[in-house]
Amino acid sequence: MIDVAVVGSGISGLSVAWHLSKKGFEVKVFEKEDLPGGNIQTVKKEGFILELGPQTIMADKRVEEFLSDAGIEPEYASERAKIRYIYKKGRLISLPLSPLSFLKSPLLSLFGKIRVLKEPLIAPSIKPEESIAEFVIRRLGKEFHDYIVAPFISGVYAGDTEKLSVKYAVRRVYELERNFGSLIKGAIKLKALGPAGRLISFPGGNYTLIERLSSELSVDTENVVLKIRRKDDRFIIDAKNGKYEAKAVVVSAPATSAGYLLRDISWSASQEFDQIYYAPIVVVHASVEKGSIPEGFGFLVPRVEGKRMLGVLFSSQIFTGRSPEGKELLTIYLGGATDPEVVEYEDELIYSLVEKELKEILRIDKVQFLNLTRWKRAIPQYTIGYGKYLDLAKTLEEENPGLFLTGNYLYGVSVADCIRASHDVAERVERFLTRR
Ligand SMILES: Cc1cc2nc3c(=O)[nH]c(=O)nc-3n(C[C@H](O)[C@H](O)[C@H](O)COP(=O)(O)OP(=O)(O)OC[C@H]3O[C@@H](n4cnc5c(N)ncnc54)[C@H](O)[C@@H]3O)c2cc1C
């Protein structure tokens, strides 16, 4: 009998498995695809390093510790990646990085800036839950929402601020209002105006992380798990390649898949998890001549500007070695919760939309397309009322000792969130396995 069966070899599953196998437990990871990694996929093509999924990881102390324990050397983002742009009325405006530059920036009108400065005077809401849009417009005004928060949210969640819950999608912001009555006052008190860590990737791309973790683990690819059942004090895992028994199971597959696997254990959970909406994303990689784009991380396009692109990363400017000599690598995102139908378009239509907008915004003459990836179910949306799914996951675990759930639909969507949550989950699994 295996000590721990881990379903899914995305970063959530691999990092839980890694912690537990370091503690000496026998761990087996089941993966339905032919390669581990889930959303983390890197492709090398014509001298470019293309990230099909996540590009950058915001590494705080806990993430850095994990990487160092796993013996993985990160690559830090370049200094120029601190420059970020927002597209507004035909031009790219750099995102202000200090209160003074905010006041001088043309990103918001004078009225928009005054509205932001009034934030400490706005009373907290008495509503139990608000959308991000409601919350931000109430506290900081519509311009701040449209030109700063909404593009940022589309950069993280590919999400719709009208639908995402401030409480579940950006909990830290929600707590600033609850604990300090004001975001500005709270951020000043907590000295929380800067970034939460350092942006990293790895030499050779993010897949280096997956290769490193899986090289030390037993990862059974092309072995989809079909059902998980409980039998006395153990779990039976029905998978494509056979039946397995485990003392504990960690399900790190996406919500719908997790619910489906657990249908024998909880029919209602399988029905509920199936309702979680994952926004689709189209990722296009393109190359342009060196010197034809400004220096920086890239730009976000506010929805109010009426373009189809959500944002563009200047990938070759963020990390080294991403493009051959004389070329820049761009990664372009489309779709998301506000424009989901793009994912169904033919490649040629997507390329022509992107080419037209890149030429308008960056004023470049020539774009060479390298790759197109469709993520039909990319990022789970923590919408209003999302708490019921979190409660359900907790109840499932409480009612089924030895069953643990993790993944980006529970503890945050970033790679760093998944790494941090996996550490906590691994500690809970260890306590379960070593209980008397
Ligand atoms: C296009 C895109 C861009 C992103 N950009 C960033 C970024 O820049 N920075 C950032 O921090 N985050 C980013 N994210 C988010 C981040 O990549 C994900 O939230 C994270 O990688 C999810 O990891 P996970 O292990 O929870 O899930 P997944 O990566 O989805 O892994 C789940 C795994 O479970 C497997 N599985 C499912 N069902 C079964 C089954 N029945 N049996 C066996 N295996 C199964 C799947 O095949 C998959 O390998 C991005 C995501 C996408 C899609």
Q: What is the reported pLDDT for 192?
A: 61
Q: What is the reported pLDDT for 43?
A: 98
Please tell me the chain's helix, strand, coil percentages from 3-state DSSP, rounded to the nearest 5. Answer: 40, 25, 35
Q: Would you state the torsion angle of the CA atoms of residues 27, 31, 36, 40, taken in this order, to the nearest 10 degrees?
A: -110
Q: Indicate if ligand 1 lies below 6 Å from the C-beta of 266.
A: no
Radius of gyration of the CA atoms of the chain, in A: 22
Specify which residues 88 forms β-bridges with: 91
Rounded to the nearest whole angstrom, what is the distance from the C-alpha of residue 308 to the centroid of ligand 1? 24
Structure tokens at 91: 């031009």
Rounded to the nearest whole angstrom, what is the distance from the C-alpha of residue 275 to the centroid of ligand 1? 18
Q: Indicate if ligand 1 lies below 6 Å from the C-beta of 315.
A: no
Rounded to the nearest whole angstrom, what is the distance from the C-alpha of residue 304 to the centroid of ligand 1? 29
Q: Indicate if ligand 1 lies below 6 Å from the C-beta of 375.
A: yes
Q: Which residue has the CA at smallest separation from atom 1 of ligand 1?
A: 53
In this predicted model, what pLDDT tens digit does every residue of 323-375 receive, in sequence order?
999 999 999 999 999 999 999 999 999 999 999 999 999 999 899 999 999 99
Q: What is the reported pLDDT for 154?
A: 94
Q: Indicate if ligand 1 lies below 6 Å from the C-beta of 414.
A: yes
Distance CA 168, CA 383 (A): 8
Q: Indicate if ligand 1 lies below 6 Å from the C-beta of 108.
A: no
CA-55 nearest atom, ligand 1: 8
For the chain, residues with pLDDT lower than 70 are: 192-195, 436
Q: What is the reported pLDDT for 189?
A: 83
Alpha-helical (H) ranges within 371-414 are 387-399
Q: Which residue has the CA at smallest separation from atom 30 of ligand 1?
A: 38
Q: What is the reported pLDDT for 99?
A: 87
Number of continuous H segments (helices) and E segments (strands) in the chain = 17, 19
Q: What is the reported pLDDT for 229?
A: 96
323 with 348: CB under 8 angstroms?
no
Distance CA 36, CA 4 (A): 18
Ligand 1 pocket test target in 152, 217, 415 with most atoms within 8 Å of CB: 415
Using alpha carbons, select from 404, 394, 397 the residue that is nearest to residue 429: 404
Rounded to the nearest whole angstrom, what is the distance from the C-alpha of residue 13 to the centroid of ligand 1? 10
Q: What is the reported pLDDT for 317?
A: 97
Rounded to the nearest whole angstrom, what is the distance from the C-alpha of residue 407 to the centroid of ligand 1? 8
Q: Indicate if ligand 1 lies below 6 Å from the C-beta of 33.
A: yes
3-state secondary structure of 283: strand
Q: Indicate if ligand 1 lies below 6 Å from the C-beta of 157.
A: no
Name all domains of the chain by residue range, CATH numbers in brackets.
2-38+206-276+383-435 (3.50.50.60), 108-190 (1.10.3110.10), 278-380 (3.90.660.20)
Q: Indicate if ligand 1 lies below 6 Å from the C-beta of 239.
A: no
Ligand 1 pocket test target in 6, 12, 39 with most atoms within 8 Å of CB: 39
CA-226 nearest atom, ligand 1: 41
